[in-house]
Amino acid sequence: MGNRTVRDATRELLRELGLTTVFGNPGSTELAFLADWPDDFTYVLGLQEATVVAMADGYAQAGRRPVLVNLHSAGGVGHSLGSVFTAFRNRTPMVIIAGQQLRNLLPDEPYLGATEAANFPKPYVKWSHEPASAEEVPGAIARAFHIATQEPQGPVFLSVPSDDWDVETSKPIVSRPRIPGFAPDPDALIELAAALDASERPGLVVGAAVDAEGVVPEVVALAERLNAGVWASPMSARCSFPEDHPLFLGFLHPERKLITAALQAHDLVVVLGAPAFTYHVYHGEPELSLPPLYLVSDDEQLLARPAEGVAIRSTQRLAIRALNAAVGEVERATPEPLARPERPVETSPISAPYVYSVLAELLPDNAIVVEEAPSHRNDLHNHLPITSTDGGFLTMASGTLGYALPAAVGAALASPERPVVAVLGDGSSMYSVQGLWTAAQHGLPVTFVILDNSQYAALRALGAAMGAEKIPGAELGGIDFPGLARSMGCEAASVSEAAELKGALEAAFASSRPTLVHVTVDSAFHKLY
């Protein structure tokens, strides 16, 4: 056996950390890292770096586990940055290792060299570093892992010169256990529990961090104990409360006046695992004030924003469990239940609400829905309630398109025991359509449902709300989605009549292969907020 190299030490470390599934798209500066690839490691190839990062993001989110990504120098990192931004907003525990040119070539700005490599992905990584020497590499990876997996979690970045991997090292690598979450200040918790006990009409606003920590059942128990109505936070990337529960009140829109009006029904609001609040549009300042507000979050940056209310720093699991133990039994009136619209009827052309209603009828209870159809988000909320209390819904928190198709592939790799359905707009699917190839290569039974209205309808809807009726670059059409899917090894079906939809979806769900269902929907676009 030869002497121990940095590559050997790194692989020992990655095994200890559970990072033996690597998502990547290789180049010359990664060859030394990939050489003599171990049989107990899995390399998931994506055909473009933004797709690679989004697949890894879905894998980490669905599996609630950290993930390793390998990118190619400055070019590959540049391609990936939109998805890195999403991973940052999604709070994804992701370690990114990018190849760098040989150390002795770097002073001359060589071909494929990354200038100021550690600065390139900032500010959308928690930590970014290029080790000063080869022997520092394994230790830097260990540090990166701990930074990525500490709450609030997020991506980290390392640039590693390609000749570092073959350097011999005797330096020991210390692998410490992941750092657990942290509890709220006891006095702050007592204050919050007392405020809830005194409240007559409390409300909860839940965000993605609740489901990311796997404590939705505890939130359900808290809401039932308080008899409190529960809202989903604006633009939440996960479902943190079952939407068929009688205490679920709906979705807050990302606009100040609408949020303020919706929360007037409460005399106290507690925000769990979300900002207070995320905004997308501005219609002026509200005339009314928000009710008294408590914000429970692990993110010191979020808690430092100029917002109303009392901030309590804690991870969600410990805060919610402590609240369940601290609040008393108080008689309260039950909030008015959420009124849902009637099930849509069959129309020609097919409406997006009808597609969602059929999906709601057919989806297994343990399915994961990965969504990126922005112009139809309200239709999804109205007609496809997510009822799972364990990671039943994923989307991007950043608003950057191209997440859902590859994220569904990553989710299926992480949770092979669960059906995965991606619901996509025609425009958003084309940002990362290469992910279909990876799904086919791994034989993943993912169903990709494309709602094709031949346009960027969300852009048109927002433009219309601004009074901008004529906008260039919003018209699409002429894309052969079934042909694209078949060319990459997937099965495919086309649906243009409502009567065909149920059968096509049933066949897709029953297939053992990745299947794309292309649905032509009406071109009408609706007000988003």
Active-site amino acid positions = 27-28, 30, 49, 72, 280, 399
In sequence order, the β-bridge partners of residue 130 are none
Q: Residue 356 has what DSSP assignment?
A: H
Q: 518 with 495: CB under 8 angstroms?
A: yes
Other C-beta atoms lying within 10 Å of the C-beta of residue 432: 29
For the four alpha carbons of 264, 266, 270 and 273, in that order, the dihedral sign comes to negative
Contacts of 32 (CB under 8 A, 6+ apart): 7, 162, 163, 164, 165, 166
Q: Which residue has the tokens 């409406």?
A: 351
Q: Which one, of 320, 331, 332, lies nearest residue 272 by Cα?
A: 320
Q: Which long-range contacts (CB under 8 A, 24 or more apart) does 122-128 make?
A: 124/81, 124/84, 124/85, 124/87, 124/88, 124/155, 125/84, 125/88, 125/96, 125/154, 125/155, 125/156, 125/157, 126/88, 126/154, 126/155, 126/156, 127/156, 127/157, 128/156, 128/157, 128/158
**Rounded Cα distance, 428 and 489, in Å:** 20
Q: Residue 122: helix, strand or coil by DSSP?
A: coil
Position of tokens 């097919």?
350
